[in-house]
Amino acid sequence: DAGVTQSPTHLIKTRGQQVTLRCSPKSGHDTVSWYQQALGQGPQFIFQYYEEEERQRGNFPDRFSGHQFPNYSSELNVNALLLGDSALYLCASSFRPGSYEQYFGPGTRLTVT
Amino acid sequence: KQEVTQIPAALSVPEGENLVLNCSFTDSAIYNLQWFRQDPGKGLTSLLLIQSSQREQTSGRLNASLDKSSGRSTLYIAASQPGDSATYLCAVRGEETSGSRLTFGEGTQLTVNP
Protein backbone atom coordinates (compact mmCIF):
# COMPACT_ATOMS: atom_id res chain seq x y z
CA ASP A 1 0.00 0.00 0.00
CA ALA A 2 1.62 3.21 -1.19
CA GLY A 3 1.72 6.03 1.27
CA VAL A 4 1.51 9.71 0.41
CA THR A 5 3.67 10.56 -2.60
CA GLN A 6 4.86 13.96 -3.76
CA SER A 7 6.57 15.20 -6.89
CA PRO A 8 9.02 16.53 -7.72
CA THR A 9 11.48 15.85 -4.90
CA HIS A 10 13.49 19.01 -5.50
CA LEU A 11 12.84 22.10 -7.56
CA ILE A 12 14.80 25.27 -8.29
CA LYS A 13 12.95 28.32 -9.60
CA THR A 14 13.75 31.96 -10.23
CA ARG A 15 12.05 34.82 -8.43
CA GLY A 16 8.84 35.84 -10.21
CA GLN A 17 8.23 32.44 -11.77
CA GLN A 18 5.33 30.11 -11.09
CA VAL A 19 5.54 26.56 -9.70
CA THR A 20 3.22 23.56 -9.40
CA LEU A 21 3.73 20.83 -6.82
CA ARG A 22 1.84 17.54 -6.84
CA CYS A 23 0.56 15.14 -4.20
CA SER A 24 -1.10 11.74 -4.32
CA PRO A 25 -2.84 10.75 -1.09
CA LYS A 26 -2.56 7.45 0.70
CA SER A 27 -4.88 4.79 -0.68
CA GLY A 28 -8.38 5.21 0.75
CA HIS A 29 -7.85 8.85 1.72
CA ASP A 30 -9.93 11.65 0.23
CA THR A 31 -8.63 14.78 1.97
CA VAL A 32 -5.36 16.57 1.28
CA SER A 33 -3.67 19.30 3.33
CA TRP A 34 -0.62 21.34 2.37
CA TYR A 35 2.01 22.73 4.74
CA GLN A 36 5.04 24.98 4.23
CA GLN A 37 8.12 24.35 6.36
CA ALA A 38 10.86 26.97 6.24
CA LEU A 39 14.34 25.93 7.33
CA GLY A 40 14.53 25.49 11.10
CA GLN A 41 10.80 26.11 11.57
CA GLY A 42 7.76 23.96 12.17
CA PRO A 43 5.32 23.36 9.30
CA GLN A 44 2.70 26.06 8.66
CA PHE A 45 -0.77 25.12 7.38
CA ILE A 46 -1.53 26.46 3.88
CA PHE A 47 -4.90 24.93 3.01
CA GLN A 48 -6.97 21.75 2.91
CA TYR A 49 -8.94 20.22 0.04
CA TYR A 50 -11.89 17.88 0.22
CA GLU A 51 -14.45 17.04 -2.48
CA GLU A 52 -12.43 19.18 -4.89
CA GLU A 53 -12.99 22.31 -2.82
CA GLU A 54 -10.79 24.35 -0.51
CA ARG A 55 -12.22 23.75 2.98
CA GLN A 56 -9.78 25.57 5.24
CA ARG A 57 -7.04 28.09 4.62
CA GLY A 58 -4.14 29.32 6.70
CA ASN A 59 -2.58 32.76 6.66
CA PHE A 60 -1.09 32.64 3.16
CA PRO A 61 -1.54 35.14 0.32
CA ASP A 62 -3.60 34.50 -2.80
CA ARG A 63 -0.41 33.69 -4.68
CA PHE A 64 -0.85 30.26 -3.14
CA SER A 65 -3.65 28.30 -4.76
CA GLY A 66 -4.57 24.68 -5.10
CA HIS A 67 -6.69 22.12 -6.81
CA GLN A 68 -8.00 18.66 -6.06
CA PHE A 69 -8.85 16.18 -8.78
CA PRO A 70 -11.61 13.54 -8.85
CA ASN A 71 -9.04 10.86 -7.96
CA TYR A 72 -8.25 12.89 -4.77
CA SER A 73 -4.76 13.90 -5.88
CA SER A 74 -3.90 17.54 -5.41
CA GLU A 75 -1.74 20.35 -6.76
CA LEU A 76 -0.27 23.36 -5.01
CA ASN A 77 0.44 26.36 -7.24
CA VAL A 78 2.52 29.35 -6.23
CA ASN A 79 2.65 32.41 -8.48
CA ALA A 80 5.13 35.28 -8.54
CA LEU A 81 7.67 33.40 -6.46
CA LEU A 82 9.58 35.26 -3.76
CA LEU A 83 12.87 34.29 -2.16
CA GLY A 84 10.92 33.72 1.05
CA ASP A 85 8.90 30.95 -0.62
CA SER A 86 11.95 28.71 -0.43
CA ALA A 87 10.90 25.87 1.86
CA LEU A 88 9.96 22.22 2.17
CA TYR A 89 6.35 21.78 1.07
CA LEU A 90 4.60 18.91 2.78
CA CYS A 91 1.40 17.19 1.76
CA ALA A 92 -0.72 15.27 4.25
CA SER A 93 -3.71 13.06 3.58
CA SER A 94 -6.55 11.74 5.69
CA PHE A 95 -9.94 10.07 5.37
CA ARG A 96 -12.43 12.94 5.64
CA PRO A 97 -11.47 16.45 6.86
CA GLY A 98 -12.35 15.59 10.44
CA SER A 99 -10.10 12.54 10.65
CA TYR A 100 -7.98 12.58 13.77
CA GLU A 101 -4.81 11.45 12.06
CA GLN A 102 -2.97 12.64 8.97
CA TYR A 103 -0.22 10.90 7.04
CA PHE A 104 2.57 13.03 5.62
CA GLY A 105 4.50 12.68 2.39
CA PRO A 106 8.27 13.16 2.02
CA GLY A 107 7.90 16.73 0.81
CA THR A 108 9.11 18.83 -2.12
CA ARG A 109 12.12 21.04 -1.51
CA LEU A 110 11.61 24.35 -3.37
CA THR A 111 14.52 26.74 -3.77
CA VAL A 112 13.85 30.19 -5.19
CA THR A 113 16.91 32.08 -6.47
CA LYS B 1 -4.60 32.24 17.91
CA GLN B 2 -3.01 28.96 18.95
CA GLU B 3 0.73 29.06 19.56
CA VAL B 4 2.89 26.00 20.23
CA THR B 5 6.31 26.24 21.88
CA GLN B 6 8.89 23.50 22.26
CA ILE B 7 11.73 23.46 24.76
CA PRO B 8 14.61 22.91 24.40
CA ALA B 9 15.32 23.90 20.79
CA ALA B 10 18.26 21.48 20.72
CA LEU B 11 19.46 18.67 22.96
CA SER B 12 22.58 16.51 22.88
CA VAL B 13 22.80 13.43 25.12
CA PRO B 14 24.97 10.32 25.44
CA GLU B 15 23.55 7.02 24.34
CA GLY B 16 21.47 5.23 26.97
CA GLU B 17 20.21 8.35 28.69
CA ASN B 18 16.52 8.91 29.40
CA LEU B 19 15.25 12.30 28.22
CA VAL B 20 12.19 14.53 28.18
CA LEU B 21 11.06 16.91 25.46
CA ASN B 22 8.57 19.62 26.33
CA CYS B 23 5.69 21.17 24.41
CA SER B 24 3.32 23.92 25.52
CA PHE B 25 0.28 25.42 23.79
CA THR B 26 -1.62 28.62 24.52
CA ASP B 27 -5.22 27.55 23.81
CA SER B 28 -6.37 24.52 25.82
CA ALA B 29 -9.35 23.94 23.51
CA ILE B 30 -7.64 21.19 21.56
CA TYR B 31 -9.04 18.07 19.95
CA ASN B 32 -5.78 16.13 20.10
CA LEU B 33 -2.00 16.47 20.26
CA GLN B 34 0.46 14.61 18.10
CA TRP B 35 4.21 14.04 18.30
CA PHE B 36 6.15 13.62 15.06
CA ARG B 37 9.70 12.73 14.15
CA GLN B 38 11.46 14.36 11.21
CA ASP B 39 14.79 13.23 9.81
CA PRO B 40 16.89 15.85 7.97
CA GLY B 41 15.20 16.99 4.75
CA LYS B 42 12.47 14.37 5.10
CA GLY B 43 8.75 14.26 5.77
CA LEU B 44 7.07 13.66 9.10
CA THR B 45 6.57 10.33 10.85
CA SER B 46 3.81 10.20 13.45
CA LEU B 47 5.03 8.81 16.77
CA LEU B 48 2.13 9.21 19.17
CA LEU B 49 -1.32 10.80 19.12
CA ILE B 50 -3.13 11.73 22.32
CA GLN B 51 -6.81 12.58 22.28
CA SER B 52 -7.86 15.48 24.52
CA SER B 53 -9.62 13.07 26.89
CA GLN B 54 -6.46 10.99 27.40
CA ARG B 55 -3.58 11.59 29.78
CA GLU B 56 -0.85 9.57 28.07
CA GLN B 57 0.10 7.23 25.25
CA THR B 58 2.95 4.75 25.05
CA SER B 59 4.74 3.12 22.14
CA GLY B 60 7.85 1.09 22.85
CA ARG B 61 10.45 3.36 24.46
CA LEU B 62 8.28 6.44 23.92
CA ASN B 63 5.74 7.86 26.34
CA ALA B 64 3.76 11.03 25.74
CA SER B 65 1.70 12.78 28.38
CA LEU B 66 -0.91 15.50 28.07
CA ASP B 67 -2.12 18.04 30.61
CA LYS B 68 -4.76 19.86 28.63
CA SER B 69 -5.78 22.30 31.35
CA SER B 70 -2.24 23.60 31.79
CA GLY B 71 -1.47 23.47 28.06
CA ARG B 72 1.48 21.10 28.32
CA SER B 73 2.72 17.85 26.88
CA THR B 74 5.93 15.89 27.35
CA LEU B 75 7.59 13.22 25.26
CA TYR B 76 9.71 10.83 27.29
CA ILE B 77 12.31 8.73 25.48
CA ALA B 78 13.81 5.87 27.46
CA ALA B 79 17.27 4.44 26.90
CA SER B 80 18.07 6.73 23.97
CA GLN B 81 19.92 5.36 20.92
CA PRO B 82 21.89 7.09 18.13
CA GLY B 83 19.04 6.17 15.77
CA ASP B 84 16.76 8.44 17.81
CA SER B 85 18.68 11.45 16.49
CA ALA B 86 16.15 13.61 14.63
CA THR B 87 13.92 16.65 15.08
CA TYR B 88 10.84 16.05 17.20
CA LEU B 89 7.76 18.14 16.46
CA CYS B 90 4.69 18.65 18.58
CA ALA B 91 1.39 19.59 16.87
CA VAL B 92 -2.11 20.34 18.14
CA ARG B 93 -5.46 20.20 16.44
CA GLY B 94 -8.08 22.67 17.61
CA GLU B 95 -11.67 21.90 18.61
CA GLU B 96 -13.05 22.75 15.20
CA THR B 97 -16.22 21.25 13.85
CA SER B 98 -14.50 20.27 10.65
CA GLY B 99 -11.03 20.01 9.21
CA SER B 100 -7.87 18.60 10.68
CA ARG B 101 -5.55 21.61 10.59
CA LEU B 102 -2.46 21.13 12.75
CA THR B 103 -0.53 23.89 14.50
CA PHE B 104 3.11 22.92 14.99
CA GLY B 105 5.88 23.95 17.32
CA GLU B 106 9.34 24.71 15.96
CA GLY B 107 10.73 21.38 17.09
CA THR B 108 13.50 20.02 19.29
CA GLN B 109 16.62 18.83 17.48
CA LEU B 110 17.88 15.75 19.32
CA THR B 111 21.37 14.30 18.94
CA VAL B 112 22.22 11.03 20.68
CA ASN B 113 25.97 10.44 20.79
CA PRO B 114 27.39 6.88 20.72
Say yes or no: B4 contacts chain A, CB-CB below 8 A: yes
Q: Which of B108, B63, B76, B67 lies closest to B89, judged by CA?
A: B108
- CA-to-CA separations, B59 to A95, B42, B54, B63, B96, in angstroms, rounded: 23, 22, 15, 6, 27
DSSP-derived 3-state class of residue B83: helix
Burial class of residue A3 (count of CB atoms within 10 Å of its CB; 0-12, 13-18, 19+): middle
Return the pLDDT at B94: 84
- CA-to-CA separations, A107 to B9, B72, B98, in angstroms, rounded: 22, 29, 25
Give the pLDDT confidence of A10-33 residue by residue, as tens digits. Answer: 999 999 999 999 999 999 999 999
The Cα angle at residue B42 between residues B41 and B48, in degrees rounded to 5: 130
Q: Which of B30, B31, B37, B44 to mutate to test the interface with A (most CBs of A within 10 A)?
A: B44
CB–CB contacts below 8 A, A to B: 73
* A54, pLDDT greater than 60: yes
> pLDDT over 70 for what percent of chain A?
98
Give the pLDDT confidence of B11-47 residue by residue, as tens digits. Answer: 999 999 999 999 999 999 898 999 999 998 788 999 9
What are the φ/ψ torsions at residue B82 (nearest 5 degrees)?
Answer: -55, -30
Q: Which of B114, B99, B51 lies closest to A46, judged by CA?
A: B99
Average pLDDT, chain B: 93
Q: From its phi and psi, is residue A71 left (phi > 0), alpha (psi between -120 and 50) or beta? A: alpha
Return the pLDDT at B9: 95
* Residue contact A106–B104, C-beta within 8 A: no
